C-alpha cells in the first residue's frame, strides 16, 4: 500500500510505526504522529463531510484548531464521539472515523438538493422558513430539520471513561509555545517563578516547526526543543502539551482542557481520558499566535482549498502534499514560503498575487527558483464538485473591481492566504476591549483588564525577532515583580526572511452574469450574499448580523471568518472596520467534551454520600434507601416480595399497634450555648422561650423575615446556658447559616455560640403504645413513668454503659421517645434496641411509614412548609406569640396574609375510600370545566391511613377551613387521574393529641 501524497523524507512523524484506521468503512493506514487529517490527505482523500445548510461537499481547510469543516464522528478506545476535529485528533490504532451531516453517504447526499434550492436558505432562513402553518411543525418541519441538518450523533452509551478536574496555582501561565511563549516561559522560569506552559498541539514550538528561520544558529525547531528540554528539567516549571487554555474568567482564573490519553493505544485503568485544569495565575502571557485569514472567492469551499500555512504545515510536520498542482493565491509574502516548500519537494506551484508587481526578499527568492508568479491576479472561481480540478483566474484591473483577462488553469489544490489575524479570543474574554490595528487590518488587545499580557503574533507582532524580544521582556518583567529576582538573558540572534507589505484585499469580485457562492463562514454556510441580504433587510449592528446570518457562531467562533465578515459589512456600509466593531468572543475557544466539564462528579460521586452509623445494619436487613439531601435513609425494610406500599403499611401499622424504631440521625442538630441563648431562641422562634425549664423540650417554629415558615423542630434545654436544637434534615445547613447571620451581623451583642452537631449524635426514635415498656427495659434503673418523664421531658441516662440523651418527643403522634448517643455508639444502640424490643413486637420503620404516620396525624413537613406558607396556613398560629417580637413577625400583619379566603391546610379523603390521591394533584370544582380550570388548591402529601384503612391526603386549599364537608375533584393530568374527594380536618387521627401525652 503506497500513500500517493506522502513525501519520502520530510516531516516529524514516526515512519517506523504504521497505524491502521478506517474512514467511512475503508481500511487505511498512517503513521504515528499523524492526525486523522494528515493521514487522509496522504491517502489522497479530501472529501470528508457535507456543509451544514447546503450539504455541499467539504474537505480540509486548515491543519489545526482553525479547521471549520472537517468534523468527524470518531470511534476509538471503545467510544463514539461526534464533531471531532480531524485536524487535531491524533491517529490511534483501530480508530474508525465517519463523515457527518450526510445521508445516505458523503459521496451521494440527498440533502445536497438544498444546494440547488438555495433560494430556500437565504440569510435568516431560521427565522423565515418553517414558520407556518403551525400544524406543520411536529410532523413535517421538525423531522425534516432533524434529519437533514445537525452535526454528529451523540453516543447513547454510558461514558465509561474517567475525567478529572485539577486546581492549580502559578505565578505565570503561558498559553502557547510558539517563539514568544517559549521566550516568556523561559525568562520567567529563570527568575524563579512558578510557570505553567500550555501548548494545544502535541508538539511544542508553534510556527518554529514550520518557518524557515534560525535562532542562535539552530533551526527554529531545534531551538524550541532545546528550550523545552531545559524548561522540563526545572522544578518550578510545568510544561503541558495537548492542552488548550480555552477560557479566561474572572480574577485571573483560566481553564485548560488537557487531552491526557486520547492518543494512547493502551493506558492504565486510572489514567483519565481528559482533564480540566482550573488555573489561578498571578500573571498570564497570551502567546496564542495568529490564524491565517482566507481570501473570499467563488466556490472557495470546494475540497482541495487550503489555508496556505496549513499546506506548509502538512508538508513540514506530516510529510504530506495537499496537492501536486498547487495554485497559491495570496495578498502577502507569507504564502511564498509555502510555494518555496512545494518547490523544494519538486512540485511546481503557480503564485497568484493580488498585489502589483514589486520586489521583496521572498518574491526575489521565488523568482530566482523559477516559480511562476502572476501579479495582480486572483482566483475567481474554483471548478470541481467533490475536489478542485481547475480554477478560473483573472487579472485584476487597477481598481480591483473587474478583470482585464480571464483564463482557466488546471490545479488540484488552491492554497490561499489573506494575511494574518491575531488570536485575541482569550484577551477579549478577559475583558480587554480590543483595538483595531490598521497596519495589520486586525484587532489586537488594548489596555489590560486583568493580569493578561499578549505577546508575539497574538499582539500583532509578526516577525520572529520582535516576538522573541517581546516574549523575553514580558516574561522577565512580569515574573520579576513576583519573585523579586531578575536574571539577565541575552536575546538570541535571529535569522528570518523579511516580508513586504500585504494587500488590503479580501474578496474577489465576480464577472458579470456569474454567481457562484462565495463563502465567508464555512462552518455555518454563510456567504457574501447572505451578509448583503442581512444589511439590505436593515440589520446594522454586527451582533444582529451575526445572529441573523449565523456568521461566526458555533464551535468555529469565527476563527477564519470574523474579519472577512466585518470587512464586507464595512465595505457595503462604507465604514471602516473599527466603526463596525466586532462580536463578542465567548468561551470555550475550542469545543470541549461534556465529560471533562462534569469530571468526577458523576454517578455516586455526583455529591458526597452521608451514611448514618446504623447504615450497615439497614443494608443487611433489606432496607431500600431513599436520598434525603446527601443522606441515605431507609425508605422501608423489605420482607419477602413486599412492595413499597405493603411494607410501609406494615411498618406504620406496627407503630400504631406495638412499637417501632426509626433511624433519625439525619435530623439537623445544632448546639447552642451562651448566657443569651434563651433570648436568642426567643427572637428566632415564633413562640415563647424565656421560661423553658432545664430538662424540657419545646416545639418551635421559625420564620423568614417575610413571614414564611422556614423550619420547625424541637429544642431542648440541656442546662442553664446550653440548648440542643433540631431541624429538619433538609433545612439543617440553611438554619445554621441563618442563626450565624443573626449572631454575627444583626445581634452581635448577644453572647451565644452555635455549632452543628448533626454528625456527632446518632439518633433513634422509639414510637408506639408499647414504647414506654420497651424504654423501661432499655433503662432498667430509670424511672420512665409519665410523671417522671412526661411529654416534652428530657433525661440523660446510661444506656448499657454508654452515655445517652432521652427526649420524649414525637413525630408519629404516638407515645414516643428519641434516644441520642455518640455516633460511635450508634450501631450498638440500634442493635440493643432490636434485641430488647423483640418481646414488644418492635420492628424498624423507614421514611415512608414515618410519612404515613405524620400525615394522618396532620403534622406538617417539607411538602406543606414549601416556602409559600405562613403559620396560619398550616394551622400553626397557636405557636405564634402575640406578646413578643421575633424574626418575621412584622410581616405576618401584611394584608394578603390575613384575608379570610387565604389558602389553609385541610385533609382529603376519596369518596370511594379506595383511590389514592396523587401528590401534586390540583383541586378543582368541576373536573370537566373548560381550561384553564380554576385551581382551588393542591395536594401536598398523600398516604394510606393505617388507622382508618383508606387513603388520606393533606392539601393546601383556598378558604380551606370553610370547605370542610364539601366535595371536589383532585385531578392529576400527569397521572391521568381525577378523583372525587371530600374535604375534612387535617387532623385525621387523634386530633386532641392524647396519645403523645399518655
Shorter beta-carbon distance to other proteins: residue 369 or 894: 894
Binding residues for other proteins, rule: CB under 8 A, are: 167, 249-253, 278, 280, 431, 449, 683, 705-706, 737, 740-741, 744-748, 884-885, 890-891, 893
Please report, to the nearest 10 degrees, the dihedral formed by the alpha carbons of residues 736, 737, 739, 743 taken in order: 130
Whether 298 contacts 509, CB under 8 Å: no
Give least dist CB 716 to other proteins, A.
23
- What is the distance between the alpha carbons of residues 87 and 202, in angstroms, rounded to a whole number? 12
952 by Cβ neighbours in 10 Å (0-12 / 13-18 / 19+) ranks as buried
Give least dist CB 750 to other proteins, A.
10
Give least dist CB 253 to other proteins, A.
5
What residues contact 755, with CB distance under 8 A and at least 6 apart?
670, 671
Shorter beta-carbon distance to other proteins: residue 397 or 898: 898
- What is the distance between the alpha carbons of residues 873 and 877, in angstroms, rounded to a whole number? 8
Shorter beta-carbon distance to other proteins: residue 253 or 644: 253
Give least dist CB 630 to other proteins, A.
14
Whether 841 contacts 931, CB under 8 Å: no
Shorter beta-carbon distance to other proteins: residue 298 or 700: 700
751 by Cβ neighbours in 10 Å (0-12 / 13-18 / 19+) ranks as middle
Shorter beta-carbon distance to other proteins: residue 4 or 748: 748
Shorter beta-carbon distance to other proteins: residue 781 or 895: 895
Give least dist CB 884 to other proteins, A.
8
**Which cell is 344 given?**
523544494
Give least dist CB 881 to other proteins, A.
12
Give least dist CB 169 to other proteins, A.
10
Shorter beta-carbon distance to other proteins: residue 171 or 466: 171
Give least dist CB 840 to other proteins, A.
43
Q: What is the DSSP letter of 132?
A: S
- What is the distance between the alpha carbons of residues 81 and 157, in angstroms, rounded to a whole number? 11
In a 3-state reduction of DSSP, which class is residue 428? helix
Shorter beta-carbon distance to other proteins: residue 367 or 451: 451
DSSP codes joined into one string, 610-628: B--TTHHHHHHTTEEEEEE
In a 3-state reduction of DSSP, which class is residue 101? coil
Shorter beta-carbon distance to other proteins: residue 235 or 893: 893
Shorter beta-carbon distance to other proteins: residue 449 or 696: 449
Give least dist CB 885 to other proteins, A.
5
Give least dist CB 127 to other proteins, A.
31
Report how far Cα 630 is from the mean position of its chain's Cα atoms.
Answer: 22
Query: CA quadruple 23, 25, 29, 32: dihedral positive or negative?
Result: positive
In a 3-state reduction of DSSP, which class is residue 187? helix
**Which cell is 361 given?**
526578499
Give least dist CB 745 to other proteins, A.
5
Please report, to the nearest 10 degrees, the dihedral formed by the alpha carbons of residues 335, 341, 345, 348 taken in order: 30
Shorter beta-carbon distance to other proteins: residue 26 or 251: 251
* The pairing of beta strand 697-703 with beta strand 668-673: unpaired
What residues contact 941, with CB distance under 8 A and at least 6 apart?
851, 855, 861, 863, 864, 919, 953, 954
What residues contact 576, with CB distance under 8 A and at least 6 apart?
436, 570
In a 3-state reduction of DSSP, which class is residue 438? coil
- What is the distance between the alpha carbons of residues 184 and 175, in angstroms, rounded to a whole number? 10
Give least dist CB 167 to other proteins, A.
8
Shorter beta-carbon distance to other proteins: residue 745 or 974: 745
Amino acid at each position: 500500500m503506497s500513500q500517493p501524497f506522502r513525501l519520502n523524507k520530510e516531516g516529524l512523524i514516526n515512519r517506523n510505526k504504521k497505524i491502521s484506521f478506517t474512514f467511512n468503512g475503508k481500511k487505511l493506514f498512517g503513521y504515528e504522529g499523524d492526525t486523522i487529517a494528515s493521514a487522509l490527505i496522504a491517502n489522497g482523500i479530501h472529501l470528508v463531510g457535507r456543509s451544514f445548510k447546503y450539504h455541499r461537499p467539504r474537505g480540509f481547510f486548515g491543519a489545526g484548531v482553525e479547521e471549520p469543516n472537517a468534523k468527524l464522528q470518531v470511534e476509538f478506545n471503545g467510544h463514539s464521539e461526534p464533531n471531532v476535529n480531524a485536524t487535531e485528533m491524533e491517529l490511534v490504532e483501530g480508530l474508525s472515523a465517519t463523515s457527518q451531516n450526510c445521508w445516505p453517504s458523503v459521496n451521494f447526499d440527498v440533502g445536497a438538493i438544498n444546494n440547488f434550492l438555495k433560494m430556500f436558505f437565504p440569510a435568516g432562513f431560521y427565522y423565515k422558513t418553517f414558520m407556518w402553518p403551525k400544524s406543520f411543525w411536529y410532523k413535517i418541519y421538525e423531522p425534516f430539520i432533524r434529519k437533514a441538518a445537525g452535526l454528529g450523533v451523540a453516543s447513547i452509551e454510558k461514558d465509561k471513561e474517567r475525567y478529572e478536574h485539577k486546581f492549580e496555582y502559578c505565578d505565570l501561565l503561558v498559553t502557547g509555545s510558539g517563539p514568544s511563549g517559549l521566550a516568556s516561559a523561559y525568562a520567567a522560569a529563570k527568575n524563579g517563578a512558578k510557570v505553567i506552559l500550555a501548548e494545544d498541539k502535541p508538539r511544542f514550538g508553534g510556527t518554529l516547526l514550520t518557518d524557515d528561520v534560525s535562532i542562535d544558529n539552530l533551526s527554529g525547531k531545534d531551538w524550541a526543543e532545546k528550550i523545552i528540554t531545559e524548561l522540563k528539567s526545572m522544578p518550578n516549571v510545568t510544561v503541558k502539551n495537548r492542552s488548550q487554555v480555552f477560557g479566561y474568567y474572572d480574577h485571573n482564573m483560566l481553564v485548560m482542557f488537557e487531552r491526557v490519553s486520547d492518543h494512547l493505544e493502551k493506558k492504565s485503568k486510572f489514567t483519565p481520558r481528559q482533564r480540566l485544569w482550573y488555573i489561578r495565575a498571578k500573571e498570564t502571557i497570551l502567546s496564542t499566535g495568529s490564524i491565517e485569514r482566507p481570501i473570499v472567492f467563488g466556490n472557495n469551499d470546494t475540497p482541495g482549498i487550503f489555508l496556505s500555512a496549513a499546506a506548509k504545515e502538512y508538508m513540514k510536520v506530516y510529510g504530506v502534499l495537499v496537492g501536486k498542482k498547487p495554485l497559491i493565491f495570496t495578498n502577502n509574502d507569507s504564502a511564498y514560503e509555502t510555494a518555496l516548500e512545494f518547490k523544494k519537494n519538486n512540485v511546481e506551484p503557480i503564485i497568484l498575487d493580488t498585489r502589483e508587481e514589486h520586489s521583496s526578499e521572498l518574491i526575489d527568492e521565488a523568482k530566482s527558483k523559477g516559480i511562476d508568479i502572476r501579479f495582480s491576479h486572483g482566483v475567481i472561481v474554483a471548478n470541481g464538485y467533490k475536489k478542485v480540478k481547475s480554477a478560473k483566474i483573472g487579472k485584476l484591473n487597477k481598481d480591483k473591481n473587474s478583470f482585464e483577462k480571464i483564463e482557466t488553469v488546471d490545479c488540484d489544490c488552491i492554497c490561499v492566504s489573506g494575511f494574518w489575524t491575531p488570536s485575541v479570543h482569550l484577551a477579549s474574554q478577559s475583558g480587554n476591549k480590543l483595538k483595531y490595528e490598521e497596519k495589520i487590518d486586525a484587532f489586537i488587545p488594548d489596555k489590560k483588564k486583568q493580569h493578561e499580557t499578549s505577546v508575539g503574533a497574538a499582539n500583532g507582532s509578526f516577525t520572529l525577532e520582535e516576538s522573541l524580544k517581546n516574549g523575553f521582556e514580558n516574561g522577565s518583567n512580569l515574573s520579576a515583580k513576583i519573585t523579586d529576582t531578575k536574571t539577565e538573558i541575552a536575546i538570541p540572534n535571529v535569522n528570518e526572511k523579511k516580508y513586504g507589505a500585504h494587500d488590503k484585499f479580501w474578496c474577489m469580485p465576480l464577472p458579470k452574469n456569474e454567481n457562484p457562492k462565495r463563502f465567508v463562514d464555512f462552518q455555518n454556510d454563510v456567504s457574501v450574499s447572505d451578509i448583503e441580504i442581512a444589511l439590505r433587510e436593515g440589520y446594522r449592528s454586527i451582533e444582529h448580523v451575526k445572529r441573523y446570518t449565523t456568521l461566526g457562531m458555533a464551535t468555529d467562533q469565527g476563527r477564519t471568518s470574523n474579519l472577512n465578515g466585518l470587512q464586507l459589512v464595512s465595505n457595503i456600509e462604507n465604514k471602516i472596520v473599527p466603526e463596525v466593531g466586532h462580536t463578542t468572543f465567548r468561551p470555550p475557544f475550542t469545543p470541549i467534551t461534556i465529560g471533562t466539564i462534569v469530571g468526577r462528579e458523576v454517578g455516586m460521586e455526583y455529591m458526597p454520600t452521608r451514611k448514618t452509623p446504623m447504615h450497615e445494619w439497614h443494608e443487611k436487613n433489606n432496607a431500600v434507601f431513599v436520598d434525603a439531601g446527601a443522606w441515605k435513609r431507609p425508605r422501608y425494610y423489605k420482607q419477602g416480595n413486599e412492595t413499597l406500599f405493603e411494607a410501609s403499611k406494615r411498618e406504620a401499622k406496627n407503630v400504631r399497634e406495638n412499637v417501632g424504631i426509626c433511624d433519625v440521625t439525619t435530623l439537623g442538630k445544632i448546639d447552642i450555648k451562651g448566657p443569651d441563648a434563651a433570648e436568642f431562641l426567643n427572637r428566632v422562634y415564633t413562640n415563647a422561650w424565656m421560661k423553658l425549664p432545664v430538662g424540657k423540650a419545646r416545639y418551635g417554629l421559625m420564620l423568614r423575615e417575610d413571614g414564611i415558615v422556614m423550619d420547625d423542630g424541637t429544642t431542648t434545654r440541656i442546662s442553664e446556658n446550653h440548648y440542643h436544637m433540631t431541624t429538619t434534615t433538609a433545612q439543617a445547613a440553611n438554619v445554621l447559616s441563618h442563626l450565624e447571620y443573626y449572631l454575627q451581623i444583626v445581634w452581635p451583642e448577644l453572647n451565644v455560640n452555635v455549632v452543628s452537631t448533626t454528625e456527632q449524635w446518632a439518633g433513634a426514635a422509639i414510637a408506639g403504645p408499647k414504647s414506654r415498656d420497651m424504654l423501661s427495659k432499655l433503662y432498667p434503673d430509670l424511672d420512665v413513668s409519665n410523671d417522671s418523664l412526661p411529654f416534652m421531658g428530657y433525661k440523660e441516662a446510661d444506656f448499657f454503659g454508654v452515655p445517652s440523651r432521652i427526649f420524649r418527643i414525637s413525630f408519629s403522634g404516638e407515645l414516643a421517645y428519641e434516644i441520642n448517643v455518640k455516633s460511635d455508639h450508634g450501631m450498638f444502640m440500634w442493635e440493643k434496641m432490636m434485641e430488647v424490643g423483640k418481646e414488644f413486637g418492635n420492628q424498624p420503620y423507614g421514611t415512608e411509614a414515618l410519612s404515613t404516620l405524620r400525615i394522618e396525624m396532620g403534622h406538617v413537613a417539607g411538602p406543606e412548609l414549601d416556602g409559600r406558607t405562613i403559620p396560619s396556613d398550616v394551622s400553626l398560629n397557636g405557636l405564634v406569640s402575640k406578646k413578643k417580637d421575633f424574626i418575621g413577625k412584622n410581616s405576618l400583619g401584611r394584608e394578603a396574609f390575613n384575608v379570610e379566603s387565604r389558602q389553609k391546610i385541610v385533609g382529603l379523603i376519596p369518596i370511594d375510600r379506595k383511590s389514592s390521591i396523587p401528590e401534586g394533584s390540583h383541586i378543582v370544582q368541576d373536573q370537566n370545566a373548560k381550561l384553564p380550570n380554576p385551581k382551588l388548591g393542591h395536594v401536598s402529601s398523600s398516604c394510606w391511613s393505617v388507622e382508618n384503612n383508606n387513603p388520606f391526603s393533606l392539601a393546601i386549599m383556598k378558604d380551606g377551613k370553610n370547605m370542610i364537608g364539601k366535595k371536589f375533584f383532585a385531578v392529576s393530568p400527569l397521572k391521568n387521574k381525577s378523583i372525587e374527594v371530600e374535604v375534612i380536618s387535617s387532623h385525621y387521627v387523634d386530633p386532641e393529641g392524647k396519645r403523645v401525652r399518655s
